[in-house]
Structure 1
Amino acid sequence: MCLKIVILVALVVAVTADHHAFSSQHVHKHDGHHEVVSHGHGHHHDYYTHPKYHFEYKIEDHHTGDHKSQHEERDGDLVKGYYELKEPDGHIRHVHYHADKHSGFHADVKHSTHHVYHHHH
């Protein structure tokens, strides 16, 4: 048992020694009231819950350069969200999107870069 604890502590130290990474997530589902849907003959009914949720996550790993985040929410047929990620060339991709059953999926994509200024004495 003591050997297992020593091995576990050694693994935790080895993994965290060189990595300074951050990851988080949040998911929230709203359970609403059931609605009755009639199909054709009136003898059959389906019961379903109005779809409603929101979630978000974020990853920042300075060792691998993996940086991304997303937030999305849905209320019935409307879905909207946002995500961003750091691309290999250093640009940040920002995407705002929304979708519904009438107009389909739409996304607005923008790129930005972080400028590094060097000050010489």
Structure 2
Amino acid sequence: MGAHPKYEFGYEVTDHHTGDSHYQKESRDGDKVVGEYALKEPGGNVRTVKYVADQHGFHPVVHNSHGNDHSGADHGHGHY
């Protein structure tokens, strides 16, 4: 029996000079990974992606501060 993988990490970048702003945080406990990341796009939209990856695939939920939110399809069969 192998080791039980477990970790947490995160980072954030904010550069007022260039306008760059983004972050990511993620945790894993066994076969389940949960995380989110966000970035400020040209034009001011902030795109936030929250996701879960487990034995059933990768499941992202995307939020845009300017609208156009959507959920991703199940990507658990070798597709990204």
Provide the TM-score with structure 1 as the length reference. Answer: 0.52
Considering Cα pairs closer than 8 Å and 6+ residues apart, tell me whether 1 or 2 has the greater RCO.
Answer: 2
CA RMSD of aligned residues (A): 1.0
Percent identity over paired residues: 55
Q: Distance in 2 between matches of 1:104 and 1:89?
A: 32
Greater helix fraction, Structure 1 or Structure 2: 1
Q: Per the alignment, in what secondary structure is the counterpart of residue 64 of structure 1?
A: coil
- Which residue of structure 2 aligns with residue 106 of structure 1? 59
Provide the TM-score with structure 2 as the length reference. Answer: 0.78
* Larger Cα-atom Rg: 1
Structure 1: state its 5+ residue gaps.
1-35, 37-47, 114-121
Between Structure 1 and Structure 2, how many residues are aligned? 66
Structure 2: state its 5+ residue gaps.
67-80
Q: Distance in 2 between matches of 1:49 and 1:66?
A: 38
Which stretches of structure 1, 4 residues or longer, exceed 4 Å deviation after superposition?
none
